[in-house]
Copies of this chain bind each other. A is one copy, B any other.
Amino acid sequence: MAIGFQFILTLFSLFSVPSLTFAFAPILPRFPSSAVSAELKQRSHSSQNGLYRTKFFTQILDHFNFNPQSNHTFQQRYLINDTFWGGAKNNAPIFVYTGNEGNIEWFTQNTGFMFENAPSFQALLVFIEHRFYGKSIPFGGNKTVAYANTSTLGYLSSTQALADYAALIIDLKKNLSATDSPVVVFGGSYGGMLAAWFRMKYPHVAIGALASSAPILHFMGMVSPDIFISIITQDFRSESENCYKVIKGSWDLIDDTANKPGGMELLRKTFRICKSDDFGPDSLEGWLRAAWIYTAMTDYPTPSNFLNPLPAYPVKKMCEAIDSSVTGNNRLAKLYAAANVYYNYTGKATCFDLDDNSDPHDLGGWQWQNRRNI
């Protein structure tokens, strides 16, 4: 968006955790409330799957140029729920979720806030998927082509995404004869930045925006590069000084252990690393970092299942595991117990693959965006 800034938020990828990534601040979506309740699922009975109907909009590839390729189109997915809507005749409002870096169904299923508030506002709910994520892939819907090189992936930018939302909303309102229905946009994390920017850039389309956990000033030169990781550290330190110290000392501990005879076997056994995984101390440390960071990012006061299934107050739970007398002075066992809160709250895992490259929420494009000022 802003010229001259360089976005320093880097996705601390779930599926790839190089140790260098640690120098950057990670970001993942976060929402004020967790998964949609069973009660709400029942109430929105008219929807295809109980929550929404899936639709597609023919979207223009490039909103800002008139080059030959600019007028190409692609199918953009959006989800809609009119269960609570007061209708166009009543100028009932439209709540729009400005989709961020992932499958829109995943975000929709984790944005209970909008479903909970829709009834009292008689709001229409619309969740729009961000271009290049989920099923909203330009270049014929072929992700291999769309992600092939900068000639195609170059159209993945936040300004294009905002223009997509404007085009879709204006067209949808026209089709619903609801041009007078006010629009309020919602989003979390990068999606919250999009919601805030949308209100600023398209004031004639949205009368308001709710931006949750949106680091709109988190750009190079505006905050300290280590502010994100400092906040994570503080999250754990506020639970207990011992918890903070054990985690802080863990990197040297793991390196030292790995260098000792039989150390790698000890680490494999302690952290239940799968036998097929050819791991090193770096990948183990990355795996632990991901646990601390993602848990702090989804440190909700209720049980949740956004990134992984978690108990309420999971950071507190992690520190309780570290501080527990059960593991005595065995710091590796303490670290494992804490990591288990994030990686194995269901208790079903038998071993862990540190190099898991799966991407269940289609987050891949974020790597491209956050290195180019999104």
Contacts and interface: CB of A to CB of B under 8 A. Distances in A.
Nearest to A164: B3
B4 A65 contact: no
A47 interface: no
The 3 lowest CB-CB distance pairs between A and B, nearest first, are: A67-B154, A64-B64, A66-B154
A150 B64 contact: no
Contact of A64 (B66, B159, B170, B368): B159
Contacts of A155: 65-67
A160 interface: yes
Contacts of A200: 203
Contacts of A203: 200
Contacts of A154: 65-68, 70
Given A64-B160, A68-B151, 16 more contacts: A3-B163, A3-B167, A4-B167, A4-B170, A63-B159, A64-B64, A64-B65, A64-B159, A65-B157, A66-B153, A66-B154, A66-B155, A67-B151, A67-B154, A68-B154, A201-B201
Given A66-B157, A155-B67, A3 B150 contact: no
B157 A64 contact: yes
Interface string A135-177: 0000000000000001101111101100100110011000000
A66 B372 contact: yes
B156 A66 contact: yes
Interface residues of A, number: 29
Count this chain's copies in the assembly: 2
A201 B171 CA distance: 21
Interface in A51-74: 62-68, 70
Interface of A: 3-4, 62-68, 70, 150-151, 153-157, 159-160, 163, 166-167, 170-171, 200-201, 203, 368, 372
A100 B343 CA distance: 58
Contacts of A67: 150-151, 154-155
14 contacts: A3-B166, A64-B65, A64-B157, A64-B159, A65-B154, A65-B155, A66-B150, A66-B154, A66-B155, A66-B157, A66-B368, A67-B154, A68-B151, A70-B154
A222 to B, nearest CB: 13
Contacts of A63: 3, 64, 159
A200 B199 CA distance: 11
Nearest to A156: B66
Given A154-B70, A200-B203, A160 B65 contact: yes
A368 B67 CA distance: 12
A7 to B, nearest CB: 12
A200 B70 CA distance: 24
A163 B200 CA distance: 15
B65 A170 contact: no
A167 B65 CA distance: 18
A171 B372 CA distance: 19
A167 to B, nearest CB: 5
